[in-house]
Amino acid sequence: MTLDSTTQQNIDQWLSGPYDAATKATIQELIAKGDQTTLTDSFYKSLEFGTGGMRGEMGVGSNRMNKYTVGAATQGFANYLNASLPGQKIKVAIAHDSRNNSPEFTRIAADIFTANGIEVFLFPALRPTPQLSFTVRHLGCQAGLVITASHNPKEYNGYKAYWSDGSQVVAPHDKNIVKEVNAITSIADIKFEGNDALLHLLDGSIDEAYLQTILVNCRQPEVIKRQKDLKIVFSPIHGTGITLVPQALQLLGFEALTVVEEQAEPNGNFPTVIYPNPEEKEALTLALNKAKAIDADLVIATDPDADRVGAAVKSPDGEWALLNGNQMASLILYYLLKVSDLKGNEFAAKTIVTTDLIDKMCTSKGVPCYNTLTGFKYIAQVIRELEGKEKFLGGGEESYGYLIGDAVRDKDAVASCAMIAELTAYAKDQGKSLFDFLAEMYVENNFYYEGLISLTKKGKAGAEEIKQMMINLRSNVPATVAGSKPVRVLDYEGLVSTDLLTGETTPIQLGLGIEASNVIQLILADGSKVSARPSGTEPKIKFYVSVNAPLASAADFFTVYAELQKKVGVIQEDLGLV
């Protein structure tokens, strides 16, 4: 068995270093089996911070989530905090989700922080990621941490680092933390023995304070009173949503909530689903069955750390349909723009791969909409830079993450569930379903439809394949796509916009939340848009396609939908993605 030098060096270091016996035994077993693929994928590199922090499969190795990689990340984080905030009393808030090993990783991190003289405020049980974001600001902490892998499969766990504004770390902090982590060359550098005198367990008062911010977001309390019997089916998909989503809905006044009991108990094995991802219809099967049984008005489901929410609504043919992230982000902004008392200083924010329908609606109301790179931390960056000058109305990203108001600085499924229920009640109060509300939005603003293809390419070979795909797209722009000529290329890595008709290049201005990133967008002559982006946290490359057309009336919904769906399919075929 021949391994590359870096992989072999990392394996040798783990076998000879002061790692525990069980870890070394597992490595020896892989060597004895000749499992070159697993050894390479586990040791060919170290886990790095991406757009959402550090995330990977659990197991032994430098490229796996385990107590040593969590320990090194935390020691590096602690070193950076102590170095960049000299003389300050540093406080860190920590939370975790329902995944396997999350409580253990959380306690390891807490011990390392306290061993480095940093005060820790720890949730004693699982809590949603957005609540951690809120807690950082509420307690005046300098940083925060959530142990979670969001909606990834059960084999994964992760590490989300937050800064004092409640946002996930951005430049320069993210890169500087990585430098500190990489500077740890031995686990002997990691202070695992904690100081319990600096450890504080949080109580229910944090829950109450966070829930009050959701109550403040409510725009139509009288509508909710009239529609208090709105039938809502909710599933936390074995995650943290169970801790606060039912309480939030009850606080607003909704009295007909049905929780999917089979998925109510937190469980890191996610036994009732293939993937704990509310983007997947399969994950909502039990919730949809319950909705059919009770003739519900709305289905909502949150991912394991409750920062993303999926929703479903009954269509005119009586079947339940999942709303995608672009649709729900648009509906939330459509509702907020319609019912909010706009003062003229509001703004919205979204990512560059999220539907342009939001831009169009905001423009019609005279509300600026800032576009950022993918990653909610960039939306939080906009909020931070405009704090005290403009008021954040709401925003989101196509990957099922939304935010209302600025009490939290990350996507918030708890607050989003409350807002989705409210806008559904608003529609019902007017004799409409949520589907009718969606069609109304499209009639007013055009029917926007987006398609996403996500290609998984695991391991070192997969990473190289993704890199080559981006190189090919940059160097070989197709002459036509679905019969339409590409007229402009936006390359966010080089921050260059190229007019393909004239050859003229102009810089992409570094605005709020924008910095260099490995993203390419093709703008077609007919107004369609194609975006390509390797994921920063998963072994995937994603291709986003956006098309739109007028919708004359709700009666034409399915006809136009079919046409747009077909067009997206043709674009994907022309690009060799299917």
475 assigned to active site: no
Are 63 and 458 a contacting pair, CB within 8 Å?
A: no
Sign of the C-alpha dihedral computed for residues 35, 41, 44 and 45 taken in this order: negative
CA angle, 116 then 119 then 124, to 5°:
115
b/e map 69-81, b = 16+ CB within 10 Å: bbbbbbbbbbbbb
Distance of CA 229 to the CA centre of its chain: 31
User: What are the backbone dihedrals phi and psi of residue 113, each rounded to the nearest 5 degrees, phi first?
Assistant: -60, -50
Q: Give the separation between CA 12 and CA 159, rounded to whole angstroms.
A: 26
Q: Give the separation between CA 500 and CA 192, rounded to whole angstroms.
A: 56
Q: Give the separation between CA 215 and CA 541, rounded to whole angstroms.
A: 38
Helices (H) and strands (E) in the chain, counts: 18, 22
Sheet arrangement for strand 232-235: 257-259, 232-235, 298-302, 309-314, 320-323
Q: Which of 46, 98, 150, 531 is catalytic?
A: 150
In the chain, the N- to C-terminal Cα span, in Å, equals: 36
Beta-sheet pairing, 199-201 with 119-122? parallel
Tokens of 455: 């290609």
Distance of CA 255 to the CA centre of its chain: 29
Which positions ≥6 away from 222 have C-beta within 8 Å?
Answer: none
Per-position DSSP letters for 146-169, written without gaps between them:
EE--TTS-TTEEEEEEEETTSSBP
- Cα–Cα distances (Å) from 504 to 291, 331, 423, 494, 510, in that order, read 54, 37, 45, 15, 19
SS3 474: helix
CA angle, 103 then 105 then 109, to 5°:
115
Q: Give the separation between CA 119 and CA 343, rounded to whole angstroms.
A: 41
Q: Give the separation between CA 408 and CA 406, rounded to whole angstroms.
A: 5
Per-position DSSP letters for 267-323, written without gaps between them:
-TT-TT-SS--TTSGGGGHHHHHHHHHHT-SEEEEE-TTSS-EEEEEE-TTS-EEEE
Q: Give the separation between CA 305 and CA 329, rounded to whole angstroms.
A: 19
Q: Give the separation between CA 168 and CA 173, rounded to whole angstroms.
A: 10
Active-site amino acid positions: 150
